[in-house]
């Protein structure tokens, strides 16, 4: 699953560490989500969307492989 | 601004709790083994000494369960994958080693490699998971 987390975070000048604290996850989790290595759970995705003040689909986008399944 | 160095503070605290309980279990296990072998071979106290480690093992398992329940979701995913690997290896090695022992291979209860292999595979799974998601 692709996401715009890194770009959105940079736009707001937020660090991974700050975001991790706000989301109550580890910095490794934020990094893994940003690099696309880990897809967050639905509750975490909602939490991220809420924090950024956006809809989930404005942050996360199903990759081609996921769409085809 | 507060920052998490690695794991969340909650995970660090819960991990510390079950690690201490595991260490305590290991100490009690060694003490019980010593007492049963050298001090209490014919006493009825040996049954208490034999059961004592299980009590600490239950506490440690409960603490680990609590850690898993409250863990950061990526940490939990890594732990569960590592546990799955350990269980899968145990599922293969335990019957194989039992059959090999029955066939005359020099594998006694104390030398059974299953638990050691499971612990090694769990550790490998955790290290690999952490490295994969870095």
- The 10 Å Cβ neighbour count of residue A54 is 14
Number of domains in chain B: 2
Please state the ipTM of this predicted complex: 0.85
CB pairs under 8 A between A and B: 51
Could you tell me if residue B41 is inside a domain?
yes
B75 and A40 within 8 Å at the Cβ level: the answer is: no
Residues of B in contact with A17 (CB under 8 A): 1, 3-4
Only one residue has tokens 């998601």, namely B133
Q: Which of B81, B134, B20 is nearest to A34 (CA)?
A: B134
Residues of B in contact with A45 (CB under 8 A): none
Q: What are the residue boundaries of the structural domains of chain A, listed by start?
A: 2-63
Angle, helix B73-102 to helix A27-34, in steps of 10 degrees:
90
In this structure, the answer to whether residues B67 and B82 fall within a common structural domain is: no
Top-confidence residue, A65 or A41:
A41
* Segments forming the whole domain that contains residue B14: 8-71
Confirm if A6 and A34 have CB atoms less than 8 A apart. Answer: yes
Residues of A in contact with B8 (CB under 8 A): 20, 24-26
A25 and B74 within 8 Å at the Cβ level: the answer is: yes
Which of B53, B71, B89 corresponds to the end of one domain?
A: B71
- How is residue B110 written in tokens? 């104390």
Could you tell me if residue B2 is inside a domain?
no
Confidence bin at A68 (pLDDT 50/70/90): very low
- Chain B interface, best mutation among A13, A26, A46, by max B CB count within 10 A: A26
Give the 3-state secondary structure of residue A60. Answer: strand
> Between β-strands A60-61 and A2-3, what pairing exists: parallel, antiparallel or unpaired?
antiparallel
Q: In angstroms, how far is CA B47 from the centroid of its own chain?
A: 23
Residues 6+ apart with CB under 8 A from A37: B132, B133
Tell me the β-bridge partners of A2: A61
What are the pLDDT tens digits along chain B (134 aa)?
555 557 899 999 999 999 999 999 999 999 998 888 888 777 788 888 889 999 999 999 999 999 999 999 999 999 999 999 999 999 999 899 888 888 888 776 665 788 889 999 999 999 999 999 88
Confirm if B14 and B71 have CB atoms less than 8 A apart. Answer: yes
Question: What's the CA gap between B67 and B78, in Å, rounded?
Answer: 13
Distance from CA of A17 to the nearest CA of B (A): 6
pTM assigned to the model: 0.83
Could you tell me if residue B81 is inside a domain?
yes
Mean pLDDT, rounded, for A4-14: 95
What superfamily in CATH does domain A2-63 come from? lambda repressor-like DNA-binding domains (1.10.260.40)
């Amino acid at each position: 699953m692709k996401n715009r987390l890194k770009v959105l975070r940079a736009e707001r000048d937020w660090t991974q560490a700050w975001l991790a604290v706000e989301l109550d996850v580890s910095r490794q989790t934020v990094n893994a989500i940003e690099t696309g290595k880990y897809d967050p759970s639905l509750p975490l995705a909602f939490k991220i969307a809420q924090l950024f003040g956006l809809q989930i689909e404005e942050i996360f986008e199903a990759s081609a492989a996921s769409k085809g399944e | 601004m507060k920052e998490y160095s690695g794991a969340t503070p909650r995970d660090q605290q819960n991990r510390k709790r079950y690690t201490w309980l595991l260490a305590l279990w290991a100490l009690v296990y060694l003490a019980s083994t010593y007492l049963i072998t050298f001090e209490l071979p014919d006493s009825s106290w040996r049954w208490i000494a034999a059961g004592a480690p299980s009590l600490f093992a239950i506490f440690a398992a409960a603490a680990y369960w609590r850690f898993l329940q409250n863990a950061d979701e990526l940490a939990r995913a890594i732990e569960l994958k590592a546990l799955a690997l350990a269980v899968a290896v145990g599922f293969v090695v335990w019957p194989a080693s039992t059959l090999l022992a029955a066939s005359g291979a020099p594998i006694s209860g104390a030398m059974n490699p299953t638990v050691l292999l499971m612990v090694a595979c769990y550790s490998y799974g955790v290290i690999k998971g952490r490295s994969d998601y870095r």
